[in-house]
Amino acid sequence: MKTLAFSILISAAACFGQQWEFGGAAGGSFLPLLPVSSPAGSASAGFSPGFVAGAFLGQRLNDRISGEVRYTFFDNGLKLTGNGQTATFSGNAHAVYYDVLFKTSRRRESRAQFYLAVGGGMKIYRGTGTEQAYQPLSQFAFLTKTHKVEPMVDFGGGVKFQLAPHLSMRAEIRDYFTPFPKELITPAPGAKIGSFLHDIVPMVAISYEQ
């Protein structure tokens, strides 16, 4: 997955010509748990808070619009909680996507640019733990060692600060929206889990631009 993302970024660089920007970002990932309804009662399922890290390579189309190819790694374990019990399972995810950024001011007008971002791509959810013969709360759902590719839409915004002639810093928040990966957190017979996940991600990024 990381090799694929790196290849996409390098290929994009060859196409972007001289008006380009690349950088790295890191932050936190916060996914609200979804309700699980079952004849056995109710519980909550989803993913624990974790960290994110990634890279991006972009083309500046003009002073107010740019496009970026991005890769982001998410470290979030699977989680199931209810009836005073909690079941957890190691997991992570990889996202490859393209964003368009709309800036509120021209690059030369101010050292700070506010921007909105919207885009889409795919997110690969992975359960990486060791499955056990007995799992707490199995009357609601099962946490599994598998993977699932889901379509993803992301949107958000932030502010970009010019630190030096070619060096910038960003502070931003994104919402990564995907269908719930029920292959990883599989509802028990008769149980139902919500259909969509929102992953709220605040990040800080450093970039170099030409």
Residue type, 95: A
What does the pLDDT read at residue 17?
47
What does the pLDDT read at residue 19?
84
* Residue 95 CA: distances (Å) to CA of 14, 136, 139, 180: 22, 30, 31, 15
Asked if pLDDT for residue 195 goes beyond 60, the answer is yes
> What is the arithmetic mean of pLDDT over 29-52?
94
What CATH number does the domain containing 131 carry?
Answer: 2.40.160.20
* Residue 201 CA: distances (Å) to CA of 36, 51, 74, 97, 127: 24, 9, 10, 15, 20
Residue-wise pLDDT tens digits, 168-193: 999 999 999 999 999 999 999 999 99
> What is the arithmetic mean of pLDDT over 62-82?
94
Q: How many CA atoms lie within 13 A of 124 on its CB side?
A: 13
Per-residue DSSP letter, 188:
P
What does the pLDDT read at residue 133?
82
Residue 40: which domain range?
2-209
* Residue 45 CA: distances (Å) to CA of 4, 34, 118, 137: 30, 5, 27, 10
**% of the chain surpassing 90 pLDDT:** 74
Q: What is the mean pLDDT of the chain?
A: 90
Residue-wise pLDDT tens digits, 108-122: 667 888 999 999 999
Asked if pLDDT for residue 63 goes beyond 50, the answer is yes
Neighbours of 7 (CB within 10 A): 10
Asked if pLDDT for residue 15 goes beyond 50, the answer is no
Residues 36 and 195: beta-carbon distance below 8 Å: no
Asked if pLDDT for residue 2 goes beyond 80, the answer is no
Closest CA to 47 of 66, 34, 60: 34
Asked if pLDDT for residue 136 goes beyond 70, the answer is yes
Domain tally, the chain = 1
What does the pLDDT read at residue 9?
47
Query: CA-based angle 1:177:56, to the nearest 5?
Result: 45
Residues 67 and 98: beta-carbon distance below 8 Å: yes
What does the pLDDT read at residue 124?
98
Asked if pLDDT for residue 42 goes beyond 50, the answer is yes
> What is the arithmetic mean of pLDDT over 86-97?
97
What does the pLDDT read at residue 178?
98
Closest CA to 92 of 71, 78, 102: 78
What does the pLDDT read at residue 13?
47
